[in-house]
Structure 1
């Protein structure tokens, strides 16, 4: 078994070489590669990819996403998110994931975090006894439409049966949803924007000053410009994570009134049947109520089946519209931090749903 580690600079060269993908696997998709290379919080010497080879064939890899958090004295600290882990089925339960983890831990000197990983990866981190819960974020998943075909097709239930049930339920429920587009009224002007402009800078700076990761307008622009998923025609590639969708788009809204030109900023991501809200930044409860209305309207417009929210005040507002949903259920999120940096991380800072790498895929 041979281990290899790549810095961001080395990854760029490696991805352009004949060796890349020669084992029938590519560890970083072209979209993710472009994103990595333009990460404003990364340095060329950051290690972002670790690989394991057997007899010259790539059988496992781990990827990381460099980021920053801010301590109690508002000092920035660089760290990395665990962002992808794959082991060939024929090589599992051989300690390969552990060796890749140890390599990443050594190169990053323990400056690591992760969130809601796959059970196998979570078990690995638990065994190391080096991670602590940084935050438990209670959340809700709201089902606006039936989507059992997408959610239950792997349970062995025939897809045709699920599709028929979904159609029947949605035909009935859509008649009710048609009334929502005009029923809820709020006092805000809502503008669709391509990216956060300078008019939002003051609001973002004020609210992000209280957040743990403080993603600013520059970081937001990078995320928007370099997503990891596309709904454009794309040739199939031997990649084990999400990179293609039937529908994928960012939808950004700015809220205003005559008295308050910048009252809020809402960022939604639509990925096939789901809608996520990476960032909802507002000036108060009334704005959050309007945001809940616009989230539901967007779900109706783009035929989304469900959304998951964890920002407490936005969840409270969404619960006021619970009668419009078919069902709701709890969806907590855990964020873990390595012991090496746990003492530097303030416990009272805001964490947004889009913090980490989830914002790139929705």
Structure 2
């Protein structure tokens, strides 16, 4: 009979699988991806056989959910040492994923009793046991995790209060300091996240209001000035209210490295939401690379479309590889995330092979480039 512990994550299954694999690897486990299922074993078992893969201590299966993804930690009933490994691994994985804001703590369920919500003020990751009687893995490979008791009221960080004040006094300062406060409060575990978000919102609203007042003032000034001379008609100008044919003048928007975009709708990007990187934005293009064209010698390129899964796999690999050189820190250890734009079957038939990678901060909008941010 199998024992199952379920975690609900706020990211798609592919991202959830990478995050869980990284968390288990940090604990000293050997993690193997077997068709989307993580086979997790202990290093001592891996060394015991050099010709075959080590038997799994437990497995982690992933499925899509309305909130993002479901991760099921499964183990078969076995020795008590394996039970201790499974319990410690799932507990540490839950804490670390929660620290990164990737888990819905209020929704997770398990086959056993719920974990107590009140813990000691400071708890260290438990060492990973090997075989029964063996010494535990090197504790230096684990990081101490500070967990505040649920019943303790956390103090409000001063930077969050400053962000709210600047939102009224200096709107752009409120946006910048509010974004910084969200990052610092997550590290220091102080309260005030709501104040920081309020500072960003107030700063954005005040910026819009100031911009509207300036625009109205300029409009009134232009109305008061004499009208400019009428321009000479040109061949490209509409004549008698009839615009040129859309098929003849349809613009082509080209994505380029260094462009920044504000968030619109479900996250579409285009010339309509292209902004200066010095302004608040949600996405920044940091890398581009072409996919391999398996049908370059074929008279019908659309027959060579490798499929959605193959395109997603190659796009993920390329964007992760280019992440660290741009941000200055590996994707698994970064506070940032990435998205990408890749060819579809229809665009592939038109010769589209380009993958475009965009970095984003899940916690807040960004002001300025994230190049060499180092976090």
Task: Note whether the superposition's TM-score is higher than 0.5.
Answer: no
Greater RCO (CA < 8 Å, at least 6 residues apart):
1
TM-score normalized with structure 1 length: 0.22
Tell me which protein shows more helix as a share of its residues: 2
